[in-house]
Structure 1
Amino acid sequence: MKTPKETIELFLANTTNPEVIESVVDKNATYISLNFNNPELQSILPWAGTHHEGAEGFINTFAGVNEFWTIQDFEVQDIFSENEKVAVFGSFTYTSRTLNKQVTSPFSILAKVKDEKIYHFMFLEDTLATTGSFRITPAGTFHSDPNGIEFKL
């Protein structure tokens, strides 16, 4: 019997293999990709948001990632497990297929596994950086510092 950590490691080694994904993801699993619900981000990354469709949400997300970017590197730096919970930290380097812009981002995952099936999975990354790999024009004008002035990216 696989531990929750081993289940997540198997999934991460096979994110483009639908058969493996279907074998390790619960049919009612929730996948939270980058945020809970952000239509603006979804217009750039269609798989962003909360998905309740089991393995299909995982398959569609990783198919989209592989369609939008060429993956140069995906490195797990640390993985921890306590009971059903698994935390994963690492980094990846992708190049956008449309603009050929390369980006490196940290990522984190919180997963929950029961009986060798993933039933909860939250993936977070630097979305300003990753969406920037598709940016043609400046991002816009910002004013974040209450004591500062506006600036453009």
Structure 2
Amino acid sequence: MPPSPLEITQDFLSKAFDPALVADAADRLVAEDAEYVSLNFDNPPLQRLMPWAGASKGRQAFVYTFTNVMTRWNLEGFEYTDTLGDDRGAAVFGTFTLRSVRLGKAATSPFAVVSRVHDGRITYMQYMEDTFATALTFRSGGAWTIEADPDTDERIEV
């Protein structure tokens, strides 16, 4: 019996955060014309911090994303809290902890991954995380002043 879409997705994710393994995993498990959505569809300010953010096409987009993630952070933990799958795809939920290489700051974030699989290969993957938390691991000084509540003049310094 061939592996299920959930097993294929988990197999890829188990190797994605290792720069020595991600290219081989993509070759075996990702369709050549697959689409990858990282964090959002298009956000130029976020792409300045995380150049892989956005929608991209091709197997190399998967390799590019995870290779670059691992140049900026060290993965300290990655675990599943829930998984779902059927014959067309999978959803994987969990938490991870990353520590920024440059500043040594850590963040723990929930994540959600959805994938579509056809003929034993991932054809679409979307990866979501708490980008506010992970971006804060790059903050080296200064404050972000946030005004979110329309009913007050409260300013929050982060």
Same fold (TM over 0.5): yes
**CA–CA separation in structure 2 for the residues paired with 1:151 and 1:131:** 17
- Secondary structure of the 1:63 match is helix
* Partners of 1:33 and 1:124 within 8 A in 2: yes
1:29-59 alpha-carbon deviations (Å, 9 max, x no partner): 000000001111110011111011x210111
* Partners of 1:88 and 1:108 within 8 A in 2: yes
CA separation of 1:88 and 1:99: change in aligned 2, threshold 3 A:
same
2:44 matched to 1:49? no
**CA–CA separation in structure 1 for the residues paired with 2:31 and 2:140:** 39
2:82 matched to 1:81? no
My pick for the range that moved more, 67-76 or 12-21, is: 12-21
Match of 1:70 in 2: 74
Per-residue deviation, 1:139 = 4.5
Match of 1:21 in 2: 26
- Give 2:110's aligned amino acid: P
User: Counterparts in 2 of 1:110-121, with a 5 A limit?
Assistant: 110-121=114-125
**CA–CA separation in structure 2 for the residues paired with 1:103 and 1:20:** 26
- Unaligned runs of 5+ residues in structure 1 are none
- Secondary structure of the 1:14 match is helix
- Give 2:64's aligned amino acid: N
- Secondary structure of the 2:79 match is strand
TM-score between the two structures when normalised by the length of structure 1 = 0.95
- Give 2:105's aligned amino acid: K
* Partners of 1:34 and 1:125 within 8 A in 2: yes
2:6 matched to 1:2? no
Per-residue deviation, 1:20 = 1.9
Give the aligned length: 152
- Provide runs of 4+ in structure 1 moved above 6 Å: none
TM-score between the two structures when normalised by the length of structure 2 = 0.92
- Give 2:81's aligned amino acid: Q
* Partners of 1:14 and 1:21 within 8 A in 2: no
- Give 1:24's aligned amino acid: L
**CA–CA separation in structure 1 for the residues paired with 2:157 and 2:86:** 43
Per-residue deviation, 1:147 = 1.2
Identity %: 36
Match of 1:37 in 2: 42
RMSD: 1.1
